[in-house]
Chains A and B, each alone.
Chain A
Amino acid sequence: MNQEMHKRAQTLILDRHNSAARALFGLLGRAALLAVTALPTLAIIFILFFIVRESIPFLDNLPRVKEFFTSTHWAPSKEVDPSFGALSIFYGTLMVTVGSCAVAVPLGVIAAICLSEIVSPKFAGIFKPVVELLAAIPSVAYGFFALVVFAPILQNHGGFLLSALALLAGLPACAIIGIAFSDMALSKMLRNPNKNQKAAFRVIITVALCALPVAAAYKLFSVEIASGTNAFNASIILAIMALPTIVSISQDALTAIGRDMREGSLALGSTRSEMIFKVILPCAKSGIAVAVILGFMRVIGETMVVWMASGNSLKIPEPFYNFLEPVRTLTATIAGEMGEADQSTGSARYHVLFAMSFCLLVAGLLLNGASQWIGSNRKKK
């Protein structure tokens, strides 16, 4: 009996021993887990450190930095008196980004609205793979499409394509705006218009507005595009790449809005589009803003498409909004010139490319910070 008790006590002591070891082991394990989890943080710090370290030899010279941001003369490989004016490159980046967002944001937000508000959830589930497909296609494949398929079409039938686009998009839009505007104007101007007056007024306003896209299409028809690889081409393809990000994140933001909002709005007698514009969109605006920012980030950081499709010309287009001229972006410059820059010895050209990537990194961090800030504000609400 006594012996048995003793045995049991021993196992208990062993257990205590065991549990101490276990606790130690657990602590070590947690430390290891934490170390692995800190890896992204470490990576961010290292990336910042190394990019800054390599760009400092360029950025420590103030006149050179001024030249970097204000001059358009870019000849970093010259032996004597090289020049580092990157203004046109910054402008090209801005142009392509703005252009692609101008296409992708309206299209993406409308598509997200359609998927979450208009079509049935079942159809939205069927459509999801299309969005995922667009997101999954590698950027170099988009670049290939831009260079090999789209650029020749743009170069040979650019005028026709642009005028067709103006007609297809502009005519319905102008017709609707015309109808809505004439109605609003009518109710303001005349107290009790008779039927004929109404109809005549509507027709006149709508036809006048519809003349705009027709005139634009007529003018665009005779446009000749010198090179198919230009800012327009790059913008369109980048817009396609940014679409999935914008659609899926906006869609999430829209579906997160409760039923009560929709039902309340409908019960007050609004049509579906009024509900969307007056209730749903204001509620989801922070989520949509995050979607737009993330789409923006994808476009700014994209390399292969702009390298292959933007034409890589070092000029600021004339006039400055001419999207049919080739431009050059930061990412394309880095990718194109780093291969030739003297990597190991660290020439001025090597460092200026790092300074460019530093600018990109800063832009990325700022945008990312903005999206996280908006996101966290939304959560607090």
Chain B
Amino acid sequence: MSNQIRKVLDKSFSAAAYCALVVMSLTVVVFLTPIIVNGIGAIVFKATVEHEKFLMENLDREYSEKVLQRIAEANAAREPLYKMMRDYERGDSAAYKKRLDNGISRALAHIESGSDKIFALLNETSAEARVRMAAEFSRLAWFEYLTELDLAAKEARASGNSMALAKVLQAQEDEISEAAKAALNELGEKKKLTFSQKSMLRRAFTHGVFEELKAKEGELHDDDDAYIAVKHGIEELLGPATQGDKEKYKLMRQKYGQTRMSLAEDVLKNSILTISITRANAEGAEVSQRIDSLKFFKNTPVEKMLLYVEDNIDAMLRPHWTIYWGFFTDNPYDSSIFGGIWPMILGTFYLTAGAMIMAAPLGIIAAIYFAEYAKEGKIVGILRMCVGTLAGVPSIVFGLFGLTFLINTLHVSDNKSVLAGAITLALLILPTIIRSCEEAVKAVPNSYREAAAGLGAGKWRGICSVILPSALPSMLTGIIISMGRAAGETAPIIFTAATSTGAALAVWEIFSQPTPALPWNIYNICSEHEMADKVQHVQYGMVLTLITIVLALNFAAIVIRARMQKKLKS
């Protein structure tokens, strides 16, 4: 191979090696950027008045006059919308009813006057001819009624009374068949008709009318459905219109509108300006359809409502930038849709602290034994090997061990508890602590030991008064890093300590109660939450909190290590 090529290969290998470093650094950036940016969004965001309403009513926060005024202004801005909705829903049905009833009586009059024609039906033997005659007759008889109906439906849509008319039409069907029956009975008495003849005539009278009614009613119902969907959307956006509605609802998410402007804009786009309604498709099956509500409600009062909402969303919600520190200190409400993550933070603290209290002293003692007392031999070799083996046991196996040994066999608690979880985590981090502490003890120079012995201290005394204090900072580094690991581990606590919902625990409850904890709740809120896209800010906020805790611990360890190195150098 020529030298030139060797040089090229050498250079390209160096380039590849630098690329590997760049890839790793990029990975860190790509990973942390969305989490930091969106995680901060959980605390700093554009809040609406609903956010303050929620805090005032549930967490007893007190607000300045200015905020109260803002809420009052928002309420005032909503009033015109609510008025439009009330007007729309009230509707006047009496006039329609009168008009349509008029139509029925005219049709009946037509039947009576044309009764000869209809009796001709009975003499007709061919079924085809009968149907044709019936259709002709009923078209003539109901012509005026159907025109009236068409007119009424058009007017109703334009004036926003389609709900009222739909109610009238529902009753009309019964009224028509009642009227037809009565008219036929009268005729039947006169002509002495048999039952089958009567029913044949009745069918002929009402031929085609019911279909027409049904179709009109369906159209109006679509209107109705769509309006109800829009109304739900508005309720989702702004919260219930009245205090009565608010008390009726049980879930917190129904009691308040959107607390964040970004979510409010989503709701406006996806639940108000486009809505889904169920409609019968060509084959007659009911399918859900997404429609553009502004197009659907063109030239109706609902269009005005929609435009009002679109134009005045800022006035009705009064968005403003806010910093919600309560995210860390408030309890979650309604599956974390409202409130903060305090119980999870506290649970993580309990588990980590519990694991440390157990693992740190044991680890330090074992490290002292390995470094100061043990003579290399078979037994110590086995003990050492087991430390390595324990470090290699998958974390989920620790979880199962905690479940079957601590909970099902030892019964440290009836069910999952913080205690069981802390013991499991302590076992998990014990090998790491032993190793790092052993390194720390070994790093203490021999002259320290000799000096202690020379001053007359026994071995134990020397360890306690000289070796441990000088090894402490570097032991601390290892312990703190293990602490970070314990805080972030999920698999061991799934079966031993974690629960997805629950309040913050008091200290004495940790022996018997499971707790929410950040790692488990991150999984839960991402994978098993019923409205995962409504709580994305909480997901990111939780992850950022957990990462911050873990990285802060690591950072502390790095700082301690750096200080120690400085000390050693000087």
Give Cα distance in the complex from A338 to B368, angstroms.
39
Selected contact of A136 from candidates B366, B539, B550, CB within 8 Å: B550
User: Does B543 lie within 8 Å of A308, measured CB to CB?
Assistant: no
Please tell me if A204 contacts chain B, counting CB pairs below 8 Å: no
Please tell me if B396 contacts chain A, counting CB pairs below 8 Å: yes
Q: Which residues of A350-381 have CB atoms within 8 Å of chain B's CB atoms?
A: 353-354, 357, 360-361, 364-365, 367-369, 371-372
Please tell me if B25 contacts chain A, counting CB pairs below 8 Å: yes
Selected contact of A36 from candidates B365, B382, B401, B458, CB within 8 Å: B365
Shortest distance from the beta carbon of B464 to any chain A beta carbon, whole Å? 11
User: Does A357 lie within 8 Å of B551, measured CB to CB?
Assistant: no
User: Does B13 lie within 8 Å of A343, measured CB to CB?
Assistant: no
Q: Which residues of A177-217 have CB atoms within 8 Å of chain B's CB atoms?
A: 179-180, 183-184, 187
A44-B546 contact in complex given A37-B366, A51-B401, A273-B14, C-beta closer than 8 Å: no
A180-B9 contact in complex given A33-B373, A54-B404, C-beta closer than 8 Å: yes
Residues of A within 8 A of B392 (CB): 297, 364-365, 367-368, 371
A111-B24 contact in complex given A36-B362, A176-B9, C-beta closer than 8 Å: yes
User: Does B397 lie within 8 Å of A41, measured CB to CB?
Assistant: no
User: Does A107 lie within 8 Å of B20, measured CB to CB?
Assistant: yes
User: Does A272 lie within 8 Å of B14, measured CB to CB?
Assistant: yes
User: Does B14 lie within 8 Å of A26, measured CB to CB?
Assistant: no
Q: Which residues of A303-339 have CB atoms within 8 Å of chain B's CB atoms?
A: 303-304, 307-308, 331, 334-335, 338-339
Q: Nearest B residue to A303 by beta-carbon distance?
A: B491
B366-409 vs A, Cβ < 8 Å mask (1 yes, 0 no) = 10111001100000001101111111111111111101110011
User: Does A271 lie within 8 Å of B539, measured CB to CB?
Assistant: no
Main secondary structure of the interface of B (DSSP, over half): helix
User: Does A372 lie within 8 Å of B28, measured CB to CB?
Assistant: no
Residues of A within 8 A of B481 (CB): 136
User: Does A308 lie within 8 Å of B523, measured CB to CB?
Assistant: yes
Please tell me if B17 contacts chain A, counting CB pairs below 8 Å: yes
Give Cα distance in the complex from A302 to B491, angstroms.
9
Shortest distance from the beta carbon of B525 to any chain A beta carbon, whole Å? 9
Q: Which residues of A135-186 have CB atoms within 8 Å of chain B's CB atoms?
A: 136-145, 147-149, 172, 176, 179-180, 183-184
User: Does B24 lie within 8 Å of A39, measured CB to CB?
Assistant: no
Residues of A within 8 A of B495 (CB): 338-339, 343
Q: Give the segment of B82-90, B288-296, B427-435 that binds chain A.
A: B427-435
A276-B526 contact in complex given A43-B390, A50-B405, A183-B2, C-beta closer than 8 Å: no
Please tell me if B18 contacts chain A, counting CB pairs below 8 Å: yes
User: Does B365 lie within 8 Å of A37, measured CB to CB?
Assistant: yes
Q: Give the segment of B202-210, B264-272, B482-490 that binds chain A.
A: B482-490
Give Cα distance in the complex from A176 to B14, angstroms.
13
Q: How many chain A residues touch the partner (CB < 8 A)?
A: 92
Q: Which residues of B452-495 have CB atoms within 8 Å of chain A's CB atoms?
A: 458-460, 481, 484-485, 487-491, 494-495
User: Does A144 lie within 8 Å of B522, measured CB to CB?
Assistant: yes
Please tell me if B21 contacts chain A, counting CB pairs below 8 Å: yes
A147-B526 contact in complex given A127-B21, A130-B28, A276-B13, C-beta closer than 8 Å: yes
Residues of A within 8 A of B522 (CB): 140-141, 143-144
Selected contact of B491 from candidates A179, A180, A331, CB within 8 Å: A331
Main secondary structure of the interface of A (DSSP, over half): helix
A85-96 vs B, Cβ < 8 Å mask (1 yes, 0 no) = 000000000000
Please tell me if B445 contacts chain A, counting CB pairs below 8 Å: no
Please tell me if B105 contacts chain A, counting CB pairs below 8 Å: no
Residues of A within 8 A of B16 (CB): 110, 172
User: Does B394 lie within 8 Å of A364, measured CB to CB?
Assistant: yes
Residues of A within 8 A of B550 (CB): 136-138
Give Cα distance in the complex from A141 to B517, angstroms.
13
Selected contact of B397 from candidates A119, A179, A360, CB within 8 Å: A360
User: Does B400 lie within 8 Å of A300, measured CB to CB?
Assistant: no
User: Does B526 lie within 8 Å of A357, measured CB to CB?
Assistant: no
Give Cα distance in the complex from A357 to B1, angstroms.
53
Selected contact of A41 from candidates B2, B14, B386, CB within 8 Å: B386
Residues of B within 8 A of A292 (CB): none
User: Does A145 lie within 8 Å of B369, measured CB to CB?
Assistant: no
Residues of B within 8 A of A127 (CB): 21, 25
Shortest distance from the beta carbon of B558 to any chain A beta carbon, whole Å? 7
Q: Which residues of B24-47 have CB atoms within 8 Å of chain A's CB atoms?
A: 24-25, 27-28, 31, 34-35
Known A119-B21, A138-B550; further 18 A-B contacts with Cβ < 8 A: A33-B368, A33-B369, A36-B366, A37-B370, A44-B386, A54-B400, A110-B17, A130-B24, A131-B24, A137-B31, A141-B543, A144-B526, A145-B34, A148-B536, A148-B540, A240-B31, A271-B10, A273-B10
- Can you give 27 A-B contacts (C-beta < 8 A)? A29-B460, A33-B369, A41-B383, A108-B20, A111-B21, A111-B24, A113-B17, A130-B25, A136-B481, A138-B487, A139-B491, A140-B523, A141-B546, A142-B31, A144-B526, A148-B539, A179-B8, A187-B1, A271-B9, A273-B14, A297-B392, A307-B523, A335-B396, A339-B495, A365-B389, A368-B389, A368-B391
Q: Which residues of A contact B (CB under 8 A)?
A: 22, 26, 29-30, 33-34, 36-41, 43-44, 46-47, 50-51, 53-54, 107-108, 110-111, 113-115, 117-119, 127, 129-134, 136-145, 147-149, 172, 176, 179-180, 183-184, 187, 240, 243, 247, 271-274, 276, 297, 300-304, 307-308, 331, 334-335, 338-339, 343-344, 353-354, 357, 360-361, 364-365, 367-369, 371-372
Q: Which residues of B contact A (CB under 8 A)?
A: 1-2, 5-10, 12-18, 20-21, 23-25, 27-28, 31, 34-35, 362, 365-366, 368-370, 373-374, 382-383, 385-401, 403-405, 408-409, 427, 430-431, 434, 458-460, 481, 484-485, 487-491, 494-495, 519-520, 522-523, 526-527, 536, 539-540, 543, 546-547, 550-551, 554, 558
Those 9 A-B pairs whose CB atoms lie nearest each other, nearest first: A138-B488, A301-B394, A114-B17, A368-B392, A273-B13, A271-B10, A41-B386, A303-B491, A111-B20
